[in-house]
Chain A
Amino acid sequence: MRGGSRISSTFWGLAGIAIFLASWELATRLGAIDPTIFPGPAAAIRSAVQRLPASVFLDNMAWSLFRVIGGFVLGAVAGTVIGFAAGWYRGFGYLARPLIELLRPIPPLAWIPLAIIWFGLGEPSKFFMVFLGAFFPIVTSAYHGITHIDSSLIRASRSFGLKGLGMLFHVGIPASAPDLATGLRIGWGLSFGVLVAAELIAADRGLGFMIMNERNSGGSVSVIIVGILLIGLLNLVTDAALAALIQRWIGRWHGA
């Protein structure tokens, strides 16, 4: 039953993708949309590859990945540590909570001007932007997780003599892992979106820069379309990889 339904969703999913691509291709062939400003999938890939060598695509992709992973790791570490600490230690919570609550409603992209003022136009400002995208969802979910632990877990572990850091590491963190996992996934998506936007507005390499530069220099729509598809695919693949990693990590405590 399960296996059958999985096969049928794969089948229908592929059918859906095929129908989408076919109608896009047909619309340009039949002239329903103007192929010079909206080429079909086959034509777009063909002319994008002709215009730019594959190494340019790969190079920009590598830069984007490097920035998003670097900034995300910084944001995830800071968010997890501060979130757990704010939930676990009352005094630190009093200090950290108001600052987080004050800054959280500001959309990460609104920091771009300050990021440039503080860190210039180079790599550090990109890392800072991605960091912000990751930090707020992760710190919120870590805090939420650690402050919503089943109190019977705490009582049970106390009666086994656990306290302080031992309790935090053996009970607190494992019990709040599912919340943290949600935050990590949301943070990854947000980091990615923030990075692309930051690259569009102020950068000299990366996928976001590549497509914006193509439009500013009057280049080809095909490169823009292929770039957008690459950005989507990269986000999709890396998100799936992150989900698998998280599953392996928290699967130890929370079942598969």
Chain B
Amino acid sequence: MREQLTQALVALLLIAAILLGVEFGVREGYLKAYEFPPASRIVQGFVELTTVGFPTGVTLWTHILVTVVRIAKGYVAAIAIAVPLGLLIGALPVLDKMTAPLVVFFRSVATLSLLPLAIVWFGAGELTKVILIGYGCFWVMLSNVIAGVKYVDPALIRAARSFKVHGWTLYREVVLPAALPRMFAGARVALGVGFMVIVGAEMIGTIQGLGALIMEARSFYRSEITVIGMLVIGVLGFLISSGLAALERLLLPWGGGLGETSR
């Protein structure tokens, strides 16, 4: 308790010191406001962004909504395909062996490297962005679903067998619940990938969305708006991933072995 208090106090002081330092540095001319936007400008920019909007007419809320909807579309589509496919592959060893190198390879292809190809195929519009998010989320989710089903503790399965549980019942009552924590971990990592991909995808061919906001702001020398956009993306990602973690604890009280870094 005391430790947390000290930490919070140090954190507050440190951040206040940095903000004041930048503010002072800009005022005295040591730092350029364009390179290091001071807090006072960031606050002004935030007010402008929420009332007038940047570019004019597109408020922060619109940018957030557009980005969240794009992520949600790609993410939901990816999960909806990856879960049944992963369950199937994980349950059939031969299929798993056949697809393993392909899954590894497609996961290794940097999602954004598909951007030029996706533009050729689907144009520079919405569909391209959603498909890229879907691609990135899909392979992460798929490999986690497969791993979840495949690496179920064999002792659990032997125990169930000795209770004469077989086939579909075994799958539903033992394998699936044991695989769920891993699948949830995959869903969290996939969401992180979605957030990563959207920022890059929005930097090209759109003026709506948080990725477009931070890139546009730079071209107009409004770096304080870039910083606001970055902070908003960070907070949004943090909130959603904490929400998923809370949901996981609620739905899967038997899980919990898989931490933040596991993949």
CB of B97 closer than 8 Å to a CB of A: yes
Contact status A232-B98, CB under 8 Å: no
**Interface residue ranges of A64-110 to B (CB < 8 Å):** 94-95, 97-99, 102-103, 105-110
**B69-120 with Cβ < 8 A to chain A:** 94, 97-102, 104-106, 108-117, 119-120
* Stretch in A157-165, A192-200, A248-256 with 4+ CB within 8 Å of B: A192-200
B14 near A99: Cβ-Cβ < 8 Å: yes
Most buried by A among B98, B105, B217: B98
Q: Is the CB of B230 within 8 A of A106?
A: yes
Interface hits, A176-232 → B, CB 8 Å: 179, 182-183, 186, 189, 192-193, 196-197, 200-201, 207-208, 211-212, 214-215, 221, 224-225, 227-229, 231-232
User: Which residues of chain B are within 8 angstroms of A200 by Cβ–Cβ distance?
Assistant: 112-113, 115-116, 200, 204
Against A, the Cβ 8 Å flags (1 = close, 0 = not) of B196-240 are: 100110011000001100110110000100110111011101100
A85 vs chain B, min Cβ distance (A)? 15
Number of interface residues of B (CB under 8 A): 61
A95 touches B196 (CB 8 A): no
- Number of A residues, CB within 8 Å of B: 65
- Do A107 and B237 touch (CB < 8 A)? yes
Could you tell me if B218 and A113 are in contact, using CB atoms closer than 8 angstroms? yes
Is B28 an interface residue, CB under 8 A from the partner?
A: no
- Residues in B whose Cβ lies below 8 Å from that of A179: 261
Return A40 CB to nearest CB of chain B, in Å. Answer: 15
Q: Which residue of A9, A111, A225 contacts B230 across the interface (Cβ within 8 Å)?
A: A111
Interface contact B217-A107, CB-CB below 8 Å: no
Among the listed A14, A182, A228, which residue makes an inter-chain contact with B261, where contact means beta carbons less than 8 Å apart? A182
Shortest Cβ distance from residue B219 to the other chain A in the assembled complex, whole angstroms: 9
When chains A and B are docked, how far (Å) is the Cα of A16 from the Cα of B101? 8
**Is B161 interfacial (CB-CB < 8 Å)?**
no
Stretch of B4-12, B48-56, B146-154 that contacts chain A: B4-12
Q: Does A19 contact B (CB under 8 A)?
A: yes
The prevalent SS among residues of B at the interface is helix
B residues less than 8 Å from A229 (CB atoms):
109
Question: Smallest distance from the beta carbon of B103 to chain A beta carbons, Å?
Answer: 9
- Determine whether A167 belongs to the interface, using a CB cutoff of 8 Å to chain B: no
- Decide: A97 near B7, CB < 8 A? Known: A211-B116, A232-B109: yes
Contact between chains at A235 and B97 (CB < 8 Å): no
User: Bound complex: CA of A179 vs CA of B260, how far in Å?
Assistant: 11
State which of A14, A98, A196 has its C-beta within 8 Å of the C-beta of B14. Answer: A98
Q: Are B233 and A15 in contact (CB under 8 A)?
A: no
- The reply to whether A38 and B238 form a contact with Cβ atoms under 8 Å apart is no
CA distance A25 to B65 in the complex (A): 41
For A99, the chain B residues whose CB sits under 8 A away are 14
Query: Given the complex, which residues of B lie within 8 Å of A186, measured CB to CB?
Result: 261, 263
Could you tell me if A98 and B196 are in contact, using CB atoms closer than 8 angstroms? no
Determine the distance from Cα of A236 to Cα of B195 in the docked complex, in whole angstroms: 23
| Interface membership of A172, Cβ < 8 A | no
A63 at interface by CB-CB < 8 Å: no
Give min CB distance, A169 to chain B, whole Å: 23
Query: Are A17 and B102 in touch, CB under 8 angstroms?
Result: yes
- Among A105, A224, A235: residue with most chain B CB under 10 A: A105
- In the complex, the answer to whether A12 meets B97 with C-beta atoms within 8 Å is yes
**Is A37 an interface residue, CB under 8 A from the partner?**
yes
Contact status B217-A113, CB under 8 Å: yes
A-contacting residues, B112-143, CB 8 Å: 112-117, 119-121
Interface residues of A in 29-79 (CB under 8 A from B): 37-38
Contacts A110-B211, A113-B217, A183-B261 given; indicate if A9 touches B97 (C-beta within 8 A).
Answer: yes
Q: In whole Å, how far is A199's beta carbon from the nearest beta carbon of chain B?
A: 9
Which residues on the A side are within 8 Å of B100 (C-beta)?
A: 9, 13, 16
CB distance from A67 to the nearest CB of B (A): 13
Q: Complex Cα distance A107/B211, Å?
A: 10
Shortest CB–CB separation between residue B140 and chain A, in angstroms?
10
**A229→B110 CA distance, assembly (Å):** 10
Residues in chain B within 8 A of chain A (CB atoms): 6-7, 10-11, 14-15, 34-35, 94, 97-102, 104-106, 108-117, 119-121, 192, 195-196, 199-200, 203-204, 210-211, 214-215, 217-218, 223, 226-227, 229-231, 233-235, 237-238, 241, 259-263
- Extra pairs beyond A179-B261, A232-B110 (16, CB < 8 Å): A14-B101, A16-B97, A16-B100, A37-B121, A94-B10, A95-B10, A98-B7, A102-B15, A105-B241, A110-B229, A114-B227, A116-B218, A137-B261, A228-B114, A235-B110, A239-B108
Q: List 10 A-B contacts (CB under 8 A).
A: A95-B14, A103-B234, A107-B199, A112-B214, A113-B215, A117-B218, A117-B223, A182-B263, A211-B113, A225-B117
